[in-house]
Structure 1
Amino acid sequence: MKQIIIATKNKGKAEEFKVFFRPYHIEALSLLDLNENVSDVEETGSTFSENAALKSETISALFGCPVIADDSGLIVEELDGEPGIYSARYAGREKNDQKNIDKLLHKLNQIPDAQRSAKFICVLALSVPGQPTTFFYRILQGENRCKAIW
Structure 2
Amino acid sequence: MRIVLATRNPGKIFELRRIMAGFEVVGLEEFPHIGEVAETGLTFAENALLKAHAVAAQSGLPAVADDSGLCVDALNGMPGVFSARWAGRHGDDKANLDLLLAQVSDVPADRRAAHFTCAAALALPAGQEQVVEGLLPGHILSQPRGSNGFGYDPIFVPEGEGRTAAELSPDEKDAISHRGRAFRALAPIVRDLLG
For normalisation by structure 2, the TM-score amounts to: 0.68
Distance 1:147 1:42, change over 3 A: closer
In structure 1, list runs of 5 or more residues that go unmatched.
Answer: none
The CA deviation at 1:83 is 0.5
CA RMSD, aligned part only? 1.8
Counterpart of 2:36 in structure 1: which amino acid? D
For normalisation by structure 1, the TM-score amounts to: 0.86
Secondary structure in structure 1 of the residue aligned to 2:29 = coil
The CA deviation at 1:16 is 3.2
Match of 1:27 in 2: 24
Counterpart of 1:75 in structure 2: which amino acid? C
Structure having the larger proportion of residues in helix: 2
Instruction: Report the more deviating stretch, 45-54 or 130-139.
Output: 130-139
Structure having the larger proportion of residues in strand: 1
In structure 2, list runs of 5 or more residues that go unmatched.
Answer: 144-195
The answer to whether the 8 A contact 2:53-2:127 is kept is: no
Instruction: Report the more deviating stretch, 92-101 or 134-143.
Output: 92-101
Computing the radius of gyration from Cα coordinates, the structure with the larger value is 1
What is the distance in 2 between the residues matched to 1:147 and 1:21? 33
User: What are the superposed Cα offsets for residues 45-67 of structure 1, whole Å, 9 maximum, x if unpaired?
Assistant: 00000000000001111122200
Match of 2:47 in 1: 51
Secondary structure in structure 2 of the residue aligned to 1:45 = coil
Match of 2:108 in 1: 112
Match of 1:134 in 2: 130
